[in-house]
Chain A
């Protein structure tokens, strides 16, 4: 296992935001965590990245315990996060944003190659190289932060709600890009989303998180009818949404 989150409990205050949550991601996999707002998805990713420190449990990355490490050390170990809300540096231009992604690297020649590759993957970033990143549209910003995370040359990339605030066609583009990245360079991905629709299409495995507890884990191939996922997501057996109604 490349990454295993083992029974972590995380507190912001007295009540835990996560209770005994476990997640595993194998090399080359696309794994999705879905769950309603407030389920603890972001908390899980922030714990993996060392921003939050679990009160119990362990996070093992490539055989090494990483909980308790600070965010920069985790990044240097090979985990790159695209956090919720994207967090472009709006006072920096597009190129500078991307260059921050190369902070942890010293292999100049490789950096330049990767830099070119990212600009080829996201031509719109090449066009706007010298523009302030704050001026980009939401979709462009999403491309920028994915590109920036790629430039850290991560062994695993975690992404928090990449579809947030994007028009459906742009969401398709983002997921296309992500699956291509996996295909072309074997990138391992742990993606968090509110909706399970996209996850069932793009991921290999799926977790459903609700109220800080893991409800379900399975191969997306086995969950395609959506019934089990829906039950885990809403937390009841009957009373599923009306026909043709809500997708989530």
Chain B
């Protein structure tokens, strides 16, 4: 029983994390048809911003040592600005190119960002102790121990999901963004400012990445310049599974991938467990053969013009 509850909480927390990542990618894809492979590296850079830039092995906290509220605000702002800069310095100039071109540009950007990290901080992993109080256990009513951080990840995700739903339903900019996601040219012909809207999508995507930096670094306790790569792969798979271009799909896909990973770890026999990710990918392939358009059917998919 204990094990079951722990597994469920763990699956939900993994799923939440992947859902946030898939949303960050889905937001840009919906208005720009960009699959931003640098998204994982945005998360990495948000993590490195916590510490003093130096190649010393032991990381000294910089922003990470501030008051928690300040840490959150500064890191989120930092990643938002980073995301916006990539738009105004790079993606802006390829936004009318094919999705493949944009994707390759994002790959190049990702590698560049990783190398910048290596140049400034060196290539070796760095231990970071962020929000240590969150990595402890909390006893649920019947004495089951669960990591506080997992509950925090789930809660933060649902707060963000609700905030995003309200944004898309209730605000002018949100409705405009949905319109532009469906038919960018028509939205512009009605006066929606295309560049501003895309910039807003980068802001939202960057804010999600910033929050994920904090969650991820707290969880891992260590920074590596490549840490964004494997998670990005899972985010990407989550968006594809959910149905490219549907934000609901991104969330569903994120949970599907997260839950599948955790459940497989729990139920796979000991000697197959190291191949868990391979098993997840196998399931992904089967899902896509069964539903090539993704789990959630989007109502409209139109080429952006």
Contact = CB atoms under 8 A, between A and B. Distances in A.
Instruction: Output the residue of B178, B189, B192, B300 with the most chain A CB within 10 A.
Output: B189
A51 B305 CA distance: 9
B193 interface: yes
Given A72-B189, A100-B192, A103-B176, 19 more contacts: A51-B189, A71-B185, A72-B194, A75-B191, A80-B189, A80-B190, A81-B189, A83-B186, A83-B189, A87-B183, A89-B182, A89-B187, A90-B182, A91-B182, A100-B176, A103-B172, A134-B300, A152-B190, A152-B191
Contacts of B187: 89, 100
Contacts of B188: 70-72, 75
Contacts of B305: 51
B183 A72 contact: no
B228 to A, nearest CB: 31
A75 B188 CA distance: 8
Interface of B: 172, 175-176, 178-179, 181-183, 185-194, 299-300, 305
15 contacts: A49-B189, A51-B185, A75-B188, A81-B189, A83-B186, A89-B183, A89-B300, A90-B299, A91-B181, A91-B182, A96-B178, A97-B179, A100-B179, A103-B190, A148-B190
Interface of A: 49, 51, 70-72, 74-76, 80-81, 83, 87, 89-92, 96-97, 99-101, 103-104, 132, 134, 148-149, 152
Given A91-B178, A91-B182, A92-B179, A103 B189 contact: no
A111 to B, nearest CB: 11
Contacts of B193: 72
A247 to B, nearest CB: 31
Contacts of A100: 175-176, 179, 187, 190, 192
Contacts of A70: 188, 194
Contacts of A75: 188-191
Given A87-B183, A89-B183, A90-B299, A71 B175 contact: no
A99 B178 CA distance: 12
B298 to A, nearest CB: 8
A89 B186 contact: yes
A148 to B, nearest CB: 7
